Structure 1
Amino acid sequence: MSELMSFRVQAIRRLPAATTLLVLALLVGCTVGPDYEKPSISTPDAWHSVIANEVEGEAPAPLQTWWTIFNDPVLNELIEEARESNLNLEMALVNVREARAKLAMKGGAELPEVGLSANVSRTKVSDNGILSQVAPAGGFSSQGLFVFGLDAAWEIDVFGRITREVEAEGARYEASIEDYRDVLVTLYAEVALTYIEIRSYQEHIANAQANIKVQMDSLDLTEERFNDGLTSELDIVQAKSNLYTTEAAIPQFRIRLNAAYNRLAVLCGQDASTLRSRINASSTLPLPDMEIEAGLPADLLRQRPDIRRAEREIAAATAMIGAATAELYPRFAIQGSIGLDSRSIGTQFDATSLAWTLAAPMHWNVFTAGRVQDNIDIKSEQQQKAMLEYRLSVLQAIEEVENALVSYNESRIRLGHLKQAVKATETAVELVTVQYDSGLTDFNNVLDMQRALYEQQNKMVSSSTEATRSIIALYKALGGGWMTLDGKVIASANPVVSSPQ
């Protein structure tokens, strides 16, 4: 036996029996339950969509500031204002601070609890009570008692129950950070989508107004030809019908435009009238002026907050299995108190007034009718549920990215064809109008071309909007809007939110 081991044995022998039991428990203590292992899940080596190779250029937009690809100062300002003033984001940050406070509170269970107590009392025993036979001739006198002391209790985490609970709370705190980031990613996407929607409705209204001007010119032309006896009143009525139909479309666009303004105001935490004055200055629908970056499918596991949160939920659930398992074993603690008790304030602080106790209690749930094991089973099933939710979140993320890639690609192709169609139809409207004015064709051909032009212009705006929405959806699906660098959240978060390591 080594000298050190001999010394330990002799020291243990000198301890009281209860303390000896506690020390032995500490020497053999362990953290029970399964240790967390990060789940492995297979992802594709590359995106299936052929457009994935095309969207990765030499100078792609950085994922954490993807909105800069539109080169739109107004959109950049709105993103920043939403980050500073959005109430959902503020609530998510409050949740992070709450989770951090819970972690601190749970971590305090690993340390001793110390309390200070003091009491001043005066009592008198009844002369006719249970002590009446020994009462003095003049009866019992009242007596005072002055008490001042400290109480302490410390649960020794022999089998890791507290450790596992702290571990679980830490994982929940990190999950709350991912919740914050998820709100951030969604917020940026919603601001951009709503802004794009506003620009889209503005272009629809501008197209309608431009077509109204052309149709009013056609109405004037039919009236001139009617007055010259070159055509019938039918042409005038048809021209008016076409004009009024186009004018009737504008109120619907204005209703939707107003709703979009109000929704953007809520997202940015400000008044809608302020936004109108800024956004009405231009009605251009922004399009990306640089290549976009899709990355690799495996990057989703590191970037998407909902996947990161789901992984942290598995860690918390795993730790709670250990906390539940620890209930199968005994709990050990150290309790003690020290104080000064005296019947007279004058002798309160004398050495003879010192009183103290020291105890090492142990509690063991020997029989619980299976409740402890049932709780372990519950925590195990909760861990399996968390694992399934993690796998589901990965699959859904891959689905969203693939859909956004295909949508962006097909919308670009459709937009190119519609631009050619609009250009050709504009020429056709000019030609058929000249032919009608020359009497070479009837007015129905003019109406058909004007209607076709208006319809194709609206389709082109819708296709352009859809392509832009697909880009936003892609970056949202990729978890764009934040990044981790040296443990900090860049371009997104309050400094209180740190990256889980």
Structure 2
Amino acid sequence: MPLLPGCVAGPDYQRPPTAFQAKWASALADQPLGSRQNLHAWWQSFHDPLLNSLITQARLGNRDVFQAEARLREARANRDLSVANILPTLSMNASASKNQPSTASRFGQFGQFGSSYNQFSHGLDASWELDLWGKQRRSIESAEATLDASAEDLQDVLVSLYAEVALNYIDVRRYQNEWVIAKNSLKAQQETYDIARWRAQAGLVSEVDVLQARQSVESARADIPKLTSALEQAKHGLAVLLGKQPTELNALLAQSAPIPAAADHIVVGIPADVLRQRPDVRRSERKLAAQTAQIGVAEAGAYPSFTLSGSIGLESLLAANLYTAAAKTFQMAASSAWVLFDSGRIRSNVKIQTALQEQALGLYQNTILTALKEVENSLTALDQEWQRRDALKASATAGKEALTLAQQQYQTGTADFQRVLDAQQSLLTAQNQLVESEAESASNLIRLYKALGGGWDVNATQPHQTPH
């Protein structure tokens, strides 16, 4: 759109330069990179159709996404309003009136000079404030940057939403697996208790073995309500993320399933990629641009304003003559205004906008540092958890073999009951730790994808359902 040439108040925005390290510190960053599409739709790497479906449902039903889209529409309307302010205003008017002067106004020193009359008019009025100092252009610049920031805010909500849905889904599968382990442990403890009772009745062991076995049974039974409560809470949290009532997913998640695991390779890239992939970084940069333009808006207030106005129309005392050449009328005018003294208000406003711009710059720089920190932390956590998971797999295998051997020795009388109890407890601990580590490995991978900005451009322009 062509604009009037002229000086533009305030500083021109330039993106602050940022120096990045060449690579990440973690050894995981040296792995072969997958395709960029794998990062944009990272949840598909878990090969879990239900997780894919939940992500889609969350995109359509989440209320935070709905609010972010409404904020985007608001920013777009504000941008359009700023553009409209730089264009002329044109209005049309029409009127018809009957006037009856008072007696005092109709008769004077020289006799009668007025009587009742009609008046008809129809015209167009136009006004245009010239943007000689760039106030409106800076306002448009600020509104455009704010619109971009709102679009990035929507993307950031989506990145967080996809990660939270996946994390809650992992929690559901984790608690389901721990619940199954607890039930199997209770069953095994019950069988051991029965063996202890039979051997005590035969006089082969003392009653102490029976009491110890009973204690283990009840201790295993006590774990189940706690896991059931945690499982239900995880289901309810997942439902709310999808914009559903807390219990709507109970039937869908009724059956337990293994914790989904992605392949042990990731799409990392280089630190500079974070600027291109993290919506929160791009959002803070756009807010900085918007605030920089506001300095120009404030500075333009110190210069005079110029307005052109005019009108053309028709005016007649008789309706029949309104649309004739004799009824034509027009007016043109130019006006200016310049604030000569305002007790420092404009200068103070410039200082305010400059200080806000400095705050936005600090926020932008801190957002970059936070993003880099989150990626480094996620890489370290994932690497260490993978090592822990491998050790726990070996531990669980050894624990299962140890329990089988202890039970055989107890039944033949070559080992005491305490050895069986210790083996059972060790196996239960190892199995729970392994499930926890598998869940944490998946969760750490999800957190890494979130830190990298994974999912930031998926379905970005799809319309959102209106909440009912």
Q: TM-score, normalised by structure 2?
A: 0.95
Deviation at 1:427, TM superposition (A): 0.9
The whole-number CA distance in structure 1 between the counterparts of 2:399 and 2:211 is 23
Secondary structure of 1:155's counterpart equals strand
Residue type matched to 2:70 in 1?
A: V
- Which structure 2 residues correspond to residues 355-374 of structure 1 after superposition, within 5 A? 355-374=329-348
Secondary structure of 2:20's counterpart equals coil
Q: What residue number does 1:379 align with?
A: 353
Out of 3, 10, 28, the position equivalent to 1:51 is: 28
Secondary structure of 1:276's counterpart equals coil
Count residues with an aligned counterpart: 461
Q: What residue number does 1:307 align with?
A: 281
Do the aligned partners of 1:121 and 1:145 also contact (CA within 8 Å) in 2?
A: yes
Do the aligned partners of 1:60 and 1:291 also contact (CA within 8 Å) in 2?
A: no
Structure 2: unaligned runs, 5 residues or longer: none
Task: Describe the shift of the 1:111–1:307 C-alpha distance in structure 2 as closer, same or farther (beyond 3 A).
Answer: same
Do the aligned partners of 2:176 and 2:256 also contact (CA within 8 Å) in 1?
A: no
Q: What residue number does 2:259 align with?
A: 285
Structure 1: unaligned runs, 5 residues or longer: 1-25, 484-490
Residue type matched to 1:494 in 2?
A: T
The whole-number CA distance in structure 1 between the counterparts of 2:213 and 2:373 is 49
Do the aligned partners of 1:164 and 1:319 also contact (CA within 8 Å) in 2?
A: yes
Secondary structure of 1:361's counterpart equals strand
- Is structure 2 residue 4 aligned with structure 1 residue 30? no
- Is structure 2 residue 396 aligned with structure 1 residue 430? no
Out of 129, 133, 137, the position equivalent to 2:108 is: 133
Deviation digits for residues 347-378 of structure 1 (CA, Å, limit 9, x no counterpart): 11122221111011111112222111111111
Q: What residue number does 1:8 align with?
A: none
Out of 408, 413, 418, the position equivalent to 2:382 is: 408
Deviation at 1:381, TM superposition (A): 0.9
Deviation at 1:494, TM superposition (A): 2.4
Residue type matched to 2:335 in 1?
A: P
Out of 213, 236, 258, the position equivalent to 1:262 is: 236
Deviation at 1:294, TM superposition (A): 1.1
Task: Describe the shift of the 1:59–1:344 C-alpha distance in structure 2 as closer, same or farther (beyond 3 A).
Answer: closer
Q: What residue number does 2:126 align with?
A: 152
Do the aligned partners of 2:11 and 2:293 also contact (CA within 8 Å) in 1?
A: yes
- Is structure 2 residue 305 aligned with structure 1 residue 331? yes
- Which structure 2 residues correspond to residues 4-83 of structure 1 after superposition, within 5 A? 29-54=6-31, 56-57=32-33, 62-83=38-59
CA RMSD of aligned residues (A): 1.8
Residue type matched to 1:103 in 2?
A: R
Deviation digits for residues 183-203 of structure 1 (CA, Å, limit 9, x no counterpart): 000000000000000000001
Task: Describe the shift of the 1:61–1:456 C-alpha distance in structure 2 as closer, same or farther (beyond 3 A).
Answer: farther
Task: Describe the shift of the 1:53–1:417 C-alpha distance in structure 2 as closer, same or farther (beyond 3 A).
Answer: same
Do the aligned partners of 1:149 and 1:339 also contact (CA within 8 Å) in 2?
A: yes
Do the aligned partners of 1:74 and 1:279 also contact (CA within 8 Å) in 2?
A: no
Out of 79, 86, 93, the position equivalent to 2:62 is: 86
Deviation at 1:70, TM superposition (A): 0.8
Deviation digits for residues 434-466 of structure 1 (CA, Å, limit 9, x no counterpart): 111111122111111111111121111111111
The whole-number CA distance in structure 2 between the counterparts of 1:267 and 1:463 is 24
Out of 384, 395, 402, the position equivalent to 1:421 is: 395
The whole-number CA distance in structure 1 between the counterparts of 2:265 and 2:37 is 7
Do the aligned partners of 1:113 and 1:152 also contact (CA within 8 Å) in 2?
A: yes
Q: TM-score, normalised by structure 1?
A: 0.89
Q: What residue number does 1:396 align with?
A: 370
Deviation at 1:140, TM superposition (A): 4.7
Secondary structure of 2:423's counterpart equals helix
Deviation at 1:341, TM superposition (A): 1.3
Residue type matched to 1:72 in 2?
A: D
Secondary structure of 2:104's counterpart equals coil
Task: Describe the shift of the 1:494–1:291 C-alpha distance in structure 2 as closer, same or farther (beyond 3 A).
Answer: same
Q: What residue number does 1:321 align with?
A: 295
- Is structure 2 residue 147 aligned with structure 1 residue 173? yes
Do the aligned partners of 2:177 and 2:256 also contact (CA within 8 Å) in 1?
A: no
Do the aligned partners of 1:184 and 1:492 also contact (CA within 8 Å) in 2?
A: no
Once the two structures are aligned, what percentage of the paired residues are identical? 38
Secondary structure of 1:279's counterpart equals coil
Do the aligned partners of 1:118 and 1:147 also contact (CA within 8 Å) in 2?
A: yes
Secondary structure of 1:266's counterpart equals helix
Q: What residue number does 1:448 align with?
A: 422
Residue type matched to 2:359 in 1?
A: K
Residue type matched to 1:288 in 2?
A: A
The whole-number CA distance in structure 1 between the counterparts of 2:34 and 2:339 is 65
The whole-number CA distance in structure 2 between the counterparts of 1:459 and 1:50 is 25
Residue type matched to 2:108 in 1?
A: Q
Residue type matched to 1:378 in 2?
A: I
Task: Describe the shift of the 1:61–1:467 C-alpha distance in structure 2 as closer, same or farther (beyond 3 A).
Answer: farther
Do the aligned partners of 1:47 and 1:402 also contact (CA within 8 Å) in 2?
A: yes
Deviation digits for residues 363-417 of structure 1 (CA, Å, limit 9, x no counterpart): 1112222111111111111111110000000000011011100100111111111
Do the aligned partners of 1:127 and 1:135 also contact (CA within 8 Å) in 2?
A: no
Out of 237, 241, 250, the position equivalent to 2:211 is: 237
Secondary structure of 2:133's counterpart equals coil
Q: What residue number does 2:83 align with?
A: 107
